[in-house]
Amino acid sequence: MQNTKLANRYSKALLDLALEQNVLDEVYSNMKQLTMMVDENRELQLLLKSPIVKADKKIAIFSELFAAFHKLSKDFVTLITKNRRDSDLNIIAKEFISLYSDYKNIQQIVVTTATGLDDTLRAKLKELTSKATNSEVDIIEKTNPALIGGFVLRIGDNQFDTSIATKIRKVKRELVTYKL
């Protein structure tokens, strides 16, 4: 709970500064890239959580890693690190992305398929979900071969599962409970 409040406060401040400086989209892009880097890199995760590595050393590493970031984003990461909140950096960045989506009326949807979406399916899905949610849609794609076919679509708190694997489980459950 404490990390959520902390993430909200820092990310709100970053959103306000980005709006004030008219660099919201650049900062958003940086925060998306930061979360992707942290989520995909175990060594970076360990560095963020490490109390052994001094703040000035972390700042030097982050300066190299995030060299292409906008100045506001780099200054923000430096501030977080100096305040010894670097272990919460990924949570703060994800909260910023959420606040940005709310501000821009963007609905994030997660679609999981067995093989991935082609361009025409992606465009059709974006069009349909955009109409259904009355907002711009940001599609997060995941693949899971265990689904066999079909898809699982998550929009907010709602999940629509049309996967073959789920249908097979339902049929199996019915067969097991069916008495001759």
Give the span between the Cα atoms of 30 and 63, in whole angstroms: 13
Q: pLDDT tens-digit profile of 4-33?
A: 899 999 999 999 999 999 999 999 999 999
The topology under which CATH files domain 2-102 is Peroxidase; domain 1 (1.10.520)
pLDDT of residue 1: 43
Q: Which DSSP symbol is given to 106?
A: E
Note the pLDDT tens digit of each residue in 24-78.
999 999 999 999 999 999 999 999 999 999 999 999 999 999 999 999 999 999 9
pLDDT attached to residue 178: 79
**Parts of the chain belonging to CATH 1.10.520.20:** 2-102
pLDDT for position 16? 98
pLDDT of 152 above 70: yes
